Every structure is written in structure tokens, then in C-alpha cells.
Amino acid sequence: MNLAIRIGIAFLCIAAVFAFFIVPTVSEEWRKGSEAEFFVVGPKLLPYLSAASMALLSLLLIASGLRERRRKESQEKGFWEWEKATPVIVSIAIAAAYILLLPLLGFLIATPICMAVYFWYYGLKRRLFFAILVIAVPLIVYYCFYRLISVPLPRGLLD
């Protein structure tokens, strides 16, 4: 199965779940109001249109994928390569941990921890230079954004 077919099937599933399970959750209460008679179409029109267009395009993509497979012209690599996926998953995990830690530790404590973990994971050697960066960057961001232009920063329980 080539990539176009897989993408087509994935989007077809998304469109089906959206149309059959998610769109029906929109309330129909609006039809009961007196001025509601004025509206010939309701809030479900565009969600259904988006699901229908996605389903149609997915089917076309599947058809084009099948045609490519018959002609054996697809040169696309698969989506998943473990060697490349590992650092991506680690990066997402570090970012997620950082976001979870922010409300607990606050910006000034969570940021150096996150940066230090990143630098450690990417194997950076010049330790003193990175130690300075890990401390300086959050302080510069704090000063420039919070102090100078009053941009709020996440505050933690420890702040």
C-alpha cells in the first residue's frame, strides 16, 4: 500500500468519525427559538460540508494511489523511520514535560531545566558555554518580555 492510499484512508476515517459521531453532538435547540425560523441553515452546515469535502478528496487520493500502484510510479518513502523518529519523540516528550512543569515550577525554574535537558540530549560538549546559556536565556527573556513590555509569563506554585 503506497503513501497516497494510506493518507487517503486516514483522512476518510477522520471525515467519517467527524460526520457520524462529532457533528451530531451539536445541539438542535436553536430550531426552537422564534427568530430561529429566519435561519434556513444551522450550525451543522459547514461541519458537514468540511467532512464531505474531506471524504471526497480522500477517495480521489485513494484512487490516484491505486492508479500509481498499477503504474508502479510511486517513489515516496514510507512515513515512519525509527532512526529518525526517536529524536522527534524525545523532543516532543521534553517539550510536553516543560509545558507540564511550567505551572508547577514557573518560567524561571522550568526553562533552565528544559534547556539543560535539550542540550544534554543533543550531546553538546562545551559545558561552561551551555551552562551560561541555560541561565542567561530565561533571564533575558524574563527581563525583555516581562519587565520591558509587560508580557505575562507562566507563574508556578513556587513563584
Partner 1 sequence: MELFLTEVAEVLAPGNLLLMVISAIIGVIIGAIPGLTVNMAVALAVPFTIYMPRAPSLILLLALYTSGVYGGSISAILINTPGTPAAAATTLDGYVLAKQGKAGKALKMALYSSFYGGMFSTFVLILVASQLAAFALKFGPAERTTLLFFALTLVGLLAGESMLRGLLAGSLGLMLATVGSDPMLALPRFTFGILDLEDGFSYIPLLIGLFAISEMLVQAEDRMRGVMRAEYRKSARREDSRVTREDIRESWKSIIRSGFLGTFIGIMPGIGAAVACFFGYGEAKRASKNPEKFGRGTVEGVAAAESANNAVTGATLIPLLALSIPGDTVTAILYGAFLIQGVTVGPLIFQQHLDVVYIVYFTLIVANLVMLGLGLAFLPMFVRVTEIPRSILYPIVLVLCVVGSYAIRNNMFDVGVMLGFGVLGYVLRRLRIPVAPLLIAFILTGPFEEALRQSLVRSEGSLAVFFTRPIALAFIVLTALSLFVTIRRSVRAKEALPQEV
Residues that bind partner 1 (CB under 8 A): 3, 7, 11, 14, 18, 22, 25-27, 29-30, 36, 38-43, 45-47, 49-51, 53-54, 57-58, 60-61, 64, 71-73, 76, 79, 84, 87-88, 90-92, 95-96, 98-99, 102-103, 107, 111, 114-115, 118-119, 122-124, 133, 137-138, 141, 145, 149-154
The DSSP secondary structure of the chain, one letter per residue, reads --HHHHHHHHHHHHHHHIIIIIGGGS--GGGGSSGGGG-SS-TTHHHHHHHHHHHHHHHHHHHHHHHHHHHT---PPPS--HHHHHHHHHHHHHHHHHHHHHHHH-HHHHHHHHHHHHHHHTT---HHHHHHHHHHHHHHHIIIIIIIS-------TT-
Q: Provide, rounded to whole angstroms, the least separation between the CB of residue 94 and partner 1.
A: 8
Of the pair 25, 34, the CB lying nearest partner 1 is at 25
Q: Provide, rounded to whole angstroms, the least separation between the CB of residue 131 and partner 1.
A: 13
Residue 149 Cα to chain centre, angstroms: 29
